[in-house]
Structure 1
């Protein structure tokens, strides 16, 4: 079954190439960007996130992920426990918010 679908997709792509429908696309002739963070996101979600980002709209999860990365960098730079405590508290809050947003999106997509 999967082989048939793969063959169908290949035929459709070859047809589009022959008709010139795949020419002049953004990034044509360049390798795909390396996105290691997409390894932990389903292909459909990754494509949706990428389209939203290109349109200038980012989902809450991505915004929170960026904040988490910034807090982790701040945590690495912190020199004392007194500096680390508020950063850890903020990081914990952000991770909780990220998990809630992820779960909400997954529940929404199932319904």
Structure 2
């Protein structure tokens, strides 16, 4: 039973990747990419990742399609840097509130991905 659930999750992830790739293709984001028409380079780090998933993730990254979790992580780093520069107590309080809001969003996005992936 667990194996069937895991297979369904894998299928769901593949379908999500396919939809993202299809959307990027229709928007022209996959046109004239570096290496277009050439064989994929050998990447030993992808050994333990399903080939289709690895290709899909790489294509999404090259097309500039960034998962929400990564975008929030970048915003967190920027907010922490801003907080470190502030000296005004009121501005620091506001920046800390924004940092807490971003951390909450990041944890929600990370948990959603973990649940989706199994």
Question: After TM superposition, what 4+ stretches of structure 1 lie above 3 angstroms from structure 2?
Answer: 23-26, 47-50
Unpaired stretches in structure 2, ≥5 consecutive residues:
1-38
> Which runs of structure 2 are paired with 1:4-83 in the superposition (5 Å)?
25=41, 51=58, 52-83=60-91
Counterpart Cα distance in 1 of 2:110 and 2:79: 19
Greater relative contact order (Cα < 8 A, sep 6+): 2
Q: Secondary structure at the match of 1:76?
A: helix
Provide the TM-score with structure 1 as the length reference: 0.54
Q: Which residue of 2 aligns with 1:106?
A: 114
Superposed displacement of residue 63, structure 1: 0.4
Superposed displacement of residue 49, structure 1: 9.4
Q: Which residue of 1 aligns with 2:101?
A: 93
Unpaired stretches in structure 1, ≥5 consecutive residues:
1-22, 33-42
* 1:17-59 deviation digits (Å, cap 9, x = unpaired): xxxxxx8849x9xxx9xxxxxxxxxx85xx6896232221000
Provide the TM-score with structure 2 as the length reference: 0.51
Aligned-CA RMSD value = 3.0
Counterpart Cα distance in 1 of 2:85 and 2:105: 23
